[in-house]
Amino acid sequence: MVRSILRSKYFAPIVVVLIFWLGLVIIKTHNQRADVDSRVSDLEGKASDIERANRYIEKLLTYIKTPEFLDREARIRLNYMAPDEKVAYVYTDRNAKIEIQESAKDEGKTMNIFQKFWQWLTGK
């Protein structure tokens, strides 16, 4: 009986169709698994980014609760000054900066190539 089934003209095409179907199922599950693995790795990356952001926020919150933060914010926003401190104002003169640059350009024009090379070599 088994030999008659194996020798049947319908057995070979049925086996070929089953093997083809099994191959398709294996390929489909492999592709799905690769897709799921890539999604899992993306989600793990996002989770690590969120954990990093949470740690940063926790550090920031602990810093905000300290008196140093309050003192710093008072100095910046309210121009707070301690009784034993003195304030110094520094005004920058933009014209002086331009004059220095122009004089440096003039010095470069009067030097020959050997003087420029010597300055470059000595680092002056």
pLDDT tens digit sequence for 90-117? 777 666 666 655 555 555 556 778 888 8
Model confidence, pTM: 0.47
Report yes or no on 22 lying in a domain: yes
Report yes or no on 13 lying in a domain: yes
For residue range 9-30, list pLDDT tens digits in order: 888 889 999 999 999 999 999 9
- Which structural domain, as residue segments, surrounds residue 100? 91-124
Q: Among all chains, which residue has been given the structure tokens 């309050």? A: 70
Whether residues 68 and 15 fall in one domain:
yes
pLDDT at residue 119 in the model:
83
Structure tokens at 119: 């300055």
Whether residues 76 and 55 fall in one domain:
yes
pLDDT at residue 29 in the model:
97
Q: Among all chains, which residue has been given the structure tokens 């191959």? A: 23
Whether residues 54 and 75 fall in one domain:
yes
Structure tokens at 3: 């030999």
Report yes or no on 3 lying in a domain: no
> Is the pLDDT assigned to residue 86 strictly greater than 90?
no
Whether residues 80 and 101 fall in one domain:
no
